Chain A
Amino acid sequence: MTAALAFKPEKARTFAKEVMERSGQNLVACYQCRRCAGACSVGEETGYITPDRLIRMILTGDQENALNNELVWKCVSCYTCGTRCPNEIQTGRITETLKKMAKEAHQAPLQPQIAHFHDAFVHSGLRWGRVNEMEFMAFYELRNMIDHVKGKKFGAIFNEIKTQSTLALSMMRLKRMHFGFLSAKGRQEIKRLYKKKKK
């Protein structure tokens, strides 16, 4: 990526408007002081893309890069950027919004395992009303395994199994692995509401 940002006026208005409305954040208030950049927990991992630059991308209509960059996927939603922003822009909400928009645009996530994780978690919470840690981890790992097999990354499969089983064993030893099953009867209320919303 080049440092210079190209202005794409035809896209800028609609894209920026959608991000602002869905995230509830007033991006035009950003005056690029970069306090967010200094505050970012994952700043070491995201290279060129800092929260302020992400905002700039959105405002200039660079939809392609805004939907697909390290910050969007590696953001841990610690909300430090937004807490320190003098204009009260919660950039954490922006990365959360862009993840959803990337999915809707059928863009393959830059970090598939992160997308799998959150999907598996919410599905588990919705399916049973409560998240069953073992079930959701099984679904998460299954989706990772499928990716690894497709990509012929057999070393990754081995490492994943090794890491998770080591953790699982020590959790069992401390009785921190739960074998019971959790659910909430009222989950139907949320499922019905969600179905209605999706129509």
Chain B
Amino acid sequence: MDIAYYPGCSLKQSSSLYDHQNRLIFERLGIHLREIDDWNCCGATSAGKTDDFLAMAMPARNLGIAMSTGLKEMVIPCSACYSRTLVAQKYLDHHEDLKEEINSGLAQKIKGEFKVSSILEVLLKTLETGTLLEKAVKKPSLLKPVCYYGCMMTRFPFDVPVPDDAENPQGMETLLKAIGLQPIDWNYKTNCCGASAAVNEPETAMNLMGKIMKDAVSMGANCMVVTCPMCQLNLDAHQNTFCRDQGIMERLPVLFITEVLGMAMNFSVEDLQIDRHFVDATGLFRELEETGAEKKS
């Protein structure tokens, strides 16, 4: 099955490992990701804060391109890109004038039905069809994960169909339980990591990340699992700093969901590039690598 794919800027740069992992695991799940041609930046939250027109026009062009492929669905693994694109689609459906104005300048117009999906929606579908469990043959049993969703997966600045519970999302937990893991219940799964504040207002962001970290540690987790490249980079790259400043002794690897599922699908640490984390994550999978794996019960 083919599905349109929008990687976005960070998956081509600081989080290129996530792009790589998505391609690997979706291919194995029988889903061929077709990257849309000549896509542009979605504007992220910055466009929403500086220019309302650009905040719609930037993702709108990508939607037009995706719709012109003839495919019916596009997966967007980055939470910010996903949110901006979904919001633009629904907003323009309610504001025909603006849609017409933007369409007039686009080579590929927005028209017709089209589904913008988060990575979890697509993965959950493979669970329903049975493909995921067929391919996930191993259980990374050292993992005691907490699932961290952040903001953009469940909270939107416009009325859009929210794909999971806004206060207690379960998408990642469902996937991890299915492959035999026991994700830990905790309180900070939808709290904000500070996003761009990690750069432009570090004090605020470090404070927010410290709280997330303390809760994860106190619940007994040994890693966090995320879908958002911004959350991943923030919690991973700044972890030493905010833990040192706030007296937190523990360090937790921050894993992409694709890494956990990828290891379960028998890819290696090198295949998935898990060695590109700031807080080392390879140790969590050593057992799988060495013993050739405990079969999932």
Contact = CB atoms under 8 A, between A and B. Distances in A.
Contacts of A42: 204, 208
Interface in A89-133: 90, 92-93, 96, 99-100, 103, 111, 113-114, 116-119, 121-122, 124-126, 129-133
A44 interface: yes
Tell which of B101, B102, B199 has the most Cβ of chain A within 10 Å.
B199
A100 B201 contact: no
Contact of B151 (A80, A96, A167): A80
B125 interface: no
A78 interface: yes
Interface string B268-286: 0000000011100000000
Contact of B40 (A76, A96, A133, A187): A187
B49 A76 contact: no
A96 B53 CA distance: 13
Contact of A170 (B51, B196, B202, B237): B237
B15 A117 contact: no
Interface in B64-116: 65, 101-102, 104-107
Contact of B10 (A90, A93, A133): A133
Given A96-B48, A100-B51, A176 B276 contact: yes
Interface residues on A, range: 35 or more
B293 interface: no
B57 A193 contact: yes
A171 B211 CA distance: 24
A186 B38 contact: yes
Contact of A100 (B12, B41, B52, B105): B52
Contacts of A194: 53-54, 57
A82 B12 CA distance: 32
A145 to B, nearest CB: 14
A167 B201 contact: no
A77 B195 CA distance: 9
Contact of B278 (A96, A133, A174): A174
Contacts of B124: none
Tell which of A83, A175, A193 has the most Cβ of chain B within 10 Å.
A193
Interface of A: 22, 24, 41-42, 44-45, 74, 76-80, 82-83, 88, 90, 92-93, 96, 99-100, 103, 111, 113-114, 116-119, 121-122, 124-126, 129-133, 137, 140, 163, 167, 170-171, 174-178, 182, 184-187, 189-190, 192-194, 196-197
